[in-house]
Amino acid sequence: MPSFLQPRTKQYVLPSTASNKPEDQAILTIRVDATAQDLMVSDETEGGNIRKTVVLLATLIEKWNYTEPDGTPVPVTTDNVARLSPTDIQYLEKQLEADLKSSTGLDDEEKKA
């Protein structure tokens, strides 16, 4: 009988913090096996590509180590993901594209078909 597999996750250190001491690096755990539902949410988002990427990232990020100055964890939301630098967003987008291609064997044009 078929069953749904647990999605794979990967940890990424954001480039904007990569040269910091380990305790000061931004570390994100992201699901690298996007589901059709994840992609639908992104496709249904109004706006340009960056907005769709931010929405998709907010869906795929399982956890991160961002905290408020008082130590309270910052929740992963679309608004908070949008606070990341453009360099970090582009880095994550490229990593996820490579992971999706390697897990499906499809390139971007084939995934759209």
pLDDT tens digit sequence for 79-103:
999 999 999 999 999 998 888 777 6
**Per-residue pLDDT tens for 12-54?**
999 999 999 999 999 999 998 777 777 777 666 666 688 888 9
Whether 94 is in a domain gets the answer: yes
2 falls within a domain: no
Q: Please indicate, yes or no, if residue 37 is contained in any of the structural domains.
A: yes
**Angle ∠(18,22,23) on CA atoms, nearest 5:** 120
Alpha-carbon distance values, 77 to 13, 35, 109 (Å) = 18, 19, 29
In a domain, 76, yes or no: yes
> 104: pLDDT confidence band, cut at 50, 70 and 90?
low
- Whose tokens are 């949410």? That residue is 41
Residue 1 in any domain: the answer is no
Number of structural domains in the chain: 1
Quick check: is 53 in a domain?
yes
Task: Give the strand order in the sheet containing 9-13.
Answer: 9-13, 27-31, 61-64
Q: Is residue 4 assigned to a domain? A: no
- Any domain includes 3: no
Number of other residues whose CB lies within 10 A of the CB of residue 1? 2
pLDDT at 88: 97
Select from 31, 113, 109, 39 the least CA-distant residue to 64: 31
For residue 79, give every residue at least 6 positions away whose Cβ sits within 8 Å of its Cβ, in sequence order, or none: none
Residue 105's pLDDT band (cuts 50, 70, 90):
low
Q: Say what the pLDDT of residue 42 is.
A: 63
Range of the domain at 50: 9-112
The residue that leads in pLDDT, 33 or 68, is 68
